[in-house]
Amino acid sequence: MTMPRSRALTNCVLLAPERSVASNGSGAYHRAVIRTTSGRSVPGAVVSFPTGSRDSHVRIEALPDVASARAIDVAEAFRDVPGLALLESARPGRNARWTYLTADPVAVLDAPSAGGDPFAVARRLLARLDGGEASPRIERGHPPAPRDVPPFIGGLVGYLAYDLGHELERLPTLARDDQDLPRLRLALHDWVVAWDRRTGAVWLAGRATDGDAARLDRRLAEVRERIRRPRPTTTRLRPADPEPLEFTSSLNRTAYECGVDGVRELIARGDIYQANLTRRLAAPFRGDPWPLYRRLRTGDPSLFSAYLDLGRGQAILSASPEPFLSVDRTGVVASDPIKGTRARGRTREEDRALAAELLGSAKDRAENVMIVDVLRNDLGRVCVAGSIRVPRLCRLERTAAVQHLVSTVTGQLAPGRDAFDLLAASFPGGSITGAPKIRAMEILEELEPVRRGPYTGALGWWGPDGAMATSILIRTFVADGRRLTLHVGGGITYRSDPAEEWDETVAKAAGPLGAIGGREVSATGE
């Protein structure tokens, strides 16, 4: 039932029972209570709008009748809608609270075809939502949002390819670029469905574009109708293809091990301290990527699973375990770099032994600490002096297939800086390039025969309030309309053993390939 508009919320429409209105001192908010299928009482709607704009139009609606439905199943209702995007946590974890579903963007930004500074264009796109300012920059004292409102209720969703680094830094152009994909794709979405793993609540939210609240209401009605269509009580995955997808590598074992030795020689000369050498696996594929994503997120569940429809049979299918950069609306920055990997054991005892080996590895710890230093330097370019902290260093975290060493670096954005300034200072991530970053990228351009494309870039969302959340695109398939590709790699230090580094790439490929029914075959080079 549609609730009448509260006098204290002149620019908000809230759909929830038992309304009550209060003030948090920085803007009015509305709270109501619903009960989930598990019997928990959760907010039906909690909204705060300290935007400073009298023309803002925001809608937030609780969907208690959808609370028992999985996001992956609700997404089936939008498979025929352009620009389907699903950003989900396919397994529990420290960063696994929110899952987002959206589709049918109101505008799309591709780079470099758009010309000029893509981040400047992105800021202008965000300004079209919610009657916002011309730039969503963080200022001191911006109040936090109520804890139960989704951090993302409309904005940009998309990816930055690793090769966007060529737009940000002066780098050689040597590797072959054979994927017809933009270096940046950001789509402006005025609505989103959000699942809250912590409370069990599901929200439908939106922000009016160019102040057109009537258009937003029509679009939300269409979304509501789609997600409430009858769905099968059980969802069956399409059976696996009779023949597995066969992937060949851009570098065979000999070539990859020679590359590792080459990096070690450059380290010995003092050129770099570390570089993240990768290879690409590719298989012919012209089918529908969506069923493959369903298999991937089931067989290799991850904290940052994502599906991004790019049109023309192109899509990104990610099972990334690694966040890149996040910014909350108060300007607090966080990054959780991963360096150091071992396979999971076949028994509990073997698993513990492999974990102990990883935790005791001087080589893996050195990799992680070096990347933490790179991040501290990158964040220091746009954060308040003295605000950079490392609250976690080399902690063990596990996925279904591998276990990693993970650290955390935090900071506070300086006044006048925003999430796009942070990206310009930090992209691509140090954990997937090396140290020093630019010299490592120059070397990788010489050693890797094909461009990385979206791999080791970033995927995520950006809100008009200045918030951002991104993951690093590892353990990620890219469907380019002709092939399905998967890159794997690892950090190379002077202590690296070439044979062990190759074996690590095989272990990293095993989870994603096994999930979709693929396999690597003998490489002959591409």
Catalytic positions, written as ranges? 322, 339
The C-alpha atoms of residue 388 and residue 410 are separated, in whole angstroms, by: 6
Token couple for 383: 């954060």
Q: Which amino acid is at 342?
A: R
The C-alpha atoms of residue 29 and residue 13 are separated, in whole angstroms, by: 11
Per DSSP, the three-state class of 105 is: coil
Token couple for 322: 């690694």
The dihedral through the CA atoms of 469, 327, 118, 129 has a sign that is: positive
Token couple for 110: 């591709």
* 382 and 428 Cβ atoms separated by less than 8 Å: no
Q: Which residues contact 16 (CB under 8 A, 6 or more apart)?
A: 3, 30, 32, 34, 44, 45, 61, 62
CB atoms within 10 A of CB 416: 12
Token couple for 285: 């594929």
> In the Cβ-directed half-sphere of 371, how many Cα atoms lie within 13 Å?
32
Q: In 133-183, at which residue ranges do the beta strands (DSSP E only) sit?
A: 155-160
436 preceded by cis ω (within 30°)?
Answer: yes
In what helix (H) or strand (E) does residue 405 lie, and over which residues does it extend? strand 402-412
Enumerate helices (H) and strands (E) in the chain, giving the number of each.
Answer: 11, 27
- C-alpha closest to that of 202 among 44, 76, 94: 44
| Torsion of the alpha carbons at 386, 388, 394 and 398, rounded to the nearest 10 | 160
Burial class (CB in 10 A: 0-12, 13-18, 19+), 57: buried
Burial class (CB in 10 A: 0-12, 13-18, 19+), 515: buried
* 24 and 48 Cβ atoms separated by less than 8 Å: yes
Looking at residue 234, what DSSP letter applies? S
* Main-chain phi, psi angles of 111, to 5 degrees: -130, 150
Token couple for 114: 């758009």
Per DSSP, the three-state class of 30 is: strand
The C-alpha atoms of residue 190 and residue 209 are separated, in whole angstroms, by: 7
The dihedral through the CA atoms of 320, 483, 461, 419 has a sign that is: positive
Quickly tell me which residue has 């569940």 as its tokens: 301
- C-alpha closest to that of 70 among 298, 340, 290: 298
* 474 and 505 Cβ atoms separated by less than 8 Å: no
